[in-house]
Chains A and B, each alone.
Chain A
Amino acid sequence: MDSILLVAIFHAAIISATPILYAALGEIFAERSGVMNLGVEGMMLVGAATGFIVVVNTQSLMLGTLVAIFAGLLLGLVFAFLVVTLQANQVVTGLVLTIFGTGLSGFLGKQVIGMAAPISYKKVPIPFLSEIPYFGHVFFNHDVLVYIAYLLVPICWFIIYRSRAGLELRSVGENPSAADSVGLNVFRIRYLYICIGGAFAGLAGAYLSLAYAPAWAENMTAGRGWIAIVLVIFATWNPARAWIGALIFGGVDVLGFRLQAIGIEMPSFFVRMLPYIFTIVVLTFITYKSEKAKNLMPKALTIPYDREGR
């Protein structure tokens, strides 16, 4: 295939991967603490809508992005209250959060539907690096939020695997009773990471409305929040793998459209199926195989921590 086309596809894949990656990184934190948040889609939408509204009214990208992050965080707080304090069913609550978020974003966004973005994130080529043949354009000719995502991956990895906070996080998701016994506050830790997850989801949404599109349209996440949830499992709750996975999912998405455009329909759909099928295979392997593999999934995931003897 034409090398220029390849470069364009990879470049587009990274853009497509970025919102999924943000949301997945956030969800990795939440799930590592033992909580599965199916409300990511709703939180992303609210982030997208609020971010865009603020930008339309203030012309400030910074403010818009911050408000989007904050909105996601607030929804995370609501979710945490329901599933951690009130011990509500995580699956149902997450679904409800998605529904609520979808509605809220639609309501808030109606004032700005169809408007052009007064300002949006523009590509900022990194001097020198962006001039490397082929790779330069693919990796270093993007907007700021993409670069921040690059940085966040190793940062998140370090936090989870090499910091004291990460150790505490992992223990809460694996064996909350053990964590409780050494004096860790399981509830507080879960609250914290659920909110972080919400903040990341809000940021992911902001990326869509302030950089990717840029605009607001109802339901503009188009299922990306769900893909992020899938990605977390595909990546076995590991930020580094999540980056690779996001590229795959993003790439597959882009590839699908390109193939469609050239008139090659069929393979695009099957290519897009592959990540999901692969995730099932990975999960089966994890569940069935050696002890080492079994330890990839946080043991306490979706089980509410009830100190009363359980």
Chain B
Amino acid sequence: MWGGESVLVKEKVNLSNFISVEKRAKVSKVSFLLIPLISIALALLFGAIFLWATGYSPMKIYMLMFTGSFGSFYNFSETMVKAIPLMLTGLAVSLAFKMSLWNIGAEGQLYMGAFMAGGVGLFFPQLPAPVMLTCMVIAGFIGGALWGLIPGILKALVGVNETITTLMLNYVAILWVGYLVYGPWKDPNGFMPFTKGFEEYALLPTLPGTRIHAGITFAIIIAVVLYIIFKRTTWGYQIGVIGESQKVASYAGMSIKKNIVLVMLISGGIAGIAGMAEVSGIIGRLQYNISPGYGYTAIIVAWLSRLNPFVIILVAIFFGGLLNGGYALQIVGLPAVMVSMLQGAILFFVLGGEMFTRYRIKLGRGGRN
């Protein structure tokens, strides 16, 4: 009648005598979209109140940020420049998340991709640009893929928590690149921890008048490919099933271990391409600090986008805009990093708002069962 074993079924939880929270039976489409939007609105409101309370004009600040990120052609292009690595790492991470693999290592995979691509760019003989760049992309992919493979294998064979192993490997990768740029690969004519600059043929072409480099085409292509994989292929389907329930996946005869390794490999590889794009498209050399934490922000981007590749592109642009808009704040003497507060506030509200898609608040005393 009610199932074989005694099941604890509690549908209401009393948060206090006046409010109780009830699990929603359905999730209405409206609330699914509306709640994140309301969260953003609330966060902006919160930010406005905070600014006003500390003596700044909210309108002025928001306008400054907006024009700083999207207000002019140049600003918009710079926003795109910052968005590209977020797009790529966001896409990388979304693949892993789809299968419920917590790849926190996009940062390290990016660095390894940069290292491999940089190695090719610096030490391969002169080749025509398209060939050289293709080799660099492949090298970048391999670098990141290897870095994703290690935690993938550990997880598949032994069951080691991938959140922790990928986090550790980030540091190893950054230190490895540090070793190279302070040591054997250091530019003999320079004083700083850089390598020599890449030659022309090893640099990604840019959109004229901007610094927007070909990395954006990589991002768009990968987004399309991932979308097709998720929506239209049997492999994407299997990943989705495994991500939802490993138990059902084994019942259906799917190969879980093989897919863990494969997905971590590819996820790492895409992050590796992000690394290649940064050093070949913007920085032009290998150096100590390649990424200000793109790999970590990517996690938030992917999560916020609910793993939809195209939404990731848009959200990445939004985050790039926040980053850029922050710099504009320096005009009024505010530190650029302050924009992180607004970013954080928006995200807090969205995270909190998530709960409302799953639960409904009821006023009044609920029974305890």
Residues of A within 8 A of B (CB): 36, 78, 82, 85-89, 91-93, 95-104, 106-107, 109-110, 218-219, 226, 229-230, 233, 260, 265-266, 269-270, 272-273, 276-277, 279-280, 283-284, 287-288, 302, 307-309
Q: How far is the CB of B20 from chain A (nearest CB, A)?
A: 13
**Which residues of B lie under 8 Å from residue A233 when comparing CB positions?**
164
Contact B158 A284 (CB under 8 A): yes
A104-B340, A272-B175, A280-B154 are known; give 13 further A-B pairs, CB within 8 A: A82-B351, A89-B354, A91-B102, A92-B347, A99-B347, A100-B345, A106-B335, A107-B335, A107-B341, A110-B333, A233-B164, A265-B183, A280-B169
Contact A265 B179 (CB under 8 A): yes
Contact A266 B175 (CB under 8 A): no
Contact A308 B9 (CB under 8 A): yes
Contact B158 A82 (CB under 8 A): no
A82-B299 in contact given A102-B340, A270-B179, A308-B23 (Cβ < 8 Å): no
A-B contact pairs, 9 of them (CB 8 A): A82-B348, A89-B351, A95-B296, A103-B343, A104-B341, A107-B334, A219-B337, A269-B182, A276-B168
Q: Which residue in B167, B335, B344 is a CB contact (below 8 Å) of A100?
A: B344
How many pairs, one residue from A and one from B, have CB atoms within 8 Å of each other in the complex?
Answer: 153
Contact B172 A273 (CB under 8 A): yes
A88-B351 in contact given A107-B335, A279-B168, A309-B7 (Cβ < 8 Å): yes
**Which residues of A lie under 8 Å from residue B317 when comparing CB positions?**
none
Least CB separation from A97: chain B residue: B344
Contact A89 B337 (CB under 8 A): no
Residues of B within 8 A of A (CB): 7-11, 13, 15, 23, 102, 104, 154, 158-161, 163-165, 167-169, 171-172, 175-176, 178-179, 182-183, 296-297, 299-300, 303, 333-345, 347-348, 351-352, 354-355
CA distance A110 to B336 in the complex (A): 10
Contact B340 A103 (CB under 8 A): yes
**Which residues of B lie under 8 Å from residue A229 when comparing CB positions?**
167
Contact A277 B172 (CB under 8 A): yes
Contact B352 A82 (CB under 8 A): yes
Contact A308 B351 (CB under 8 A): no
CA distance A277 to B176 in the complex (A): 12
Q: How far is the CB of A87 from chain B (nearest CB, A)?
A: 6
Contact A230 B171 (CB under 8 A): yes
Contact B348 A100 (CB under 8 A): yes
Contact A78 B9 (CB under 8 A): no
Contact B340 A100 (CB under 8 A): yes
CA distance A260 to B337 in the complex (A): 30
Give the most central of A100, A229, A230: most B CB within 10 Å.
Answer: A100
**Which residues of B lie under 8 Å from residue A287 when comparing CB positions?**
158-161
**Which residues of B lie under 8 Å from residue A101 when comparing CB positions?**
344
**Which residues of A lie under 8 Å from residue B161 when comparing CB positions?**
283, 287
Q: How far is the CB of A290 from chain B (nearest CB, A)?
A: 14
**Which residues of A lie under 8 Å from residue B182 when comparing CB positions?**
260, 265, 269
Contact B15 A85 (CB under 8 A): yes
Contact B351 A93 (CB under 8 A): yes
Q: Which residue in B7, B23, B338 is a CB contact (below 8 Å) of A107?
A: B338
CA distance A135 to B40 in the complex (A): 56
A92-B160 in contact given A103-B343, A280-B165 (Cβ < 8 Å): no
Q: Which residue in A86, A98, A103, A279 is a CB contact (below 8 Å) of B342?
A: A103
A103-B354 in contact given A97-B344, A276-B172, A307-B10 (Cβ < 8 Å): no
A284-B340 in contact given A269-B175, A273-B176 (Cβ < 8 Å): no
**Which residues of B lie under 8 Å from residue A110 when comparing CB positions?**
333-335, 338
Q: How far is the CB of B64 from chain A (nearest CB, A)?
A: 15
Least CB separation from A229: chain B residue: B167
Give the most central of B175, B337, B347, B355: most A CB within 10 Å.
Answer: B337
**Which residues of A lie under 8 Å from residue B167 when comparing CB positions?**
226, 229-230
Contact B335 A92 (CB under 8 A): no
CA distance A263 to B172 in the complex (A): 21
Contact A269 B345 (CB under 8 A): no
Contact A103 B344 (CB under 8 A): yes
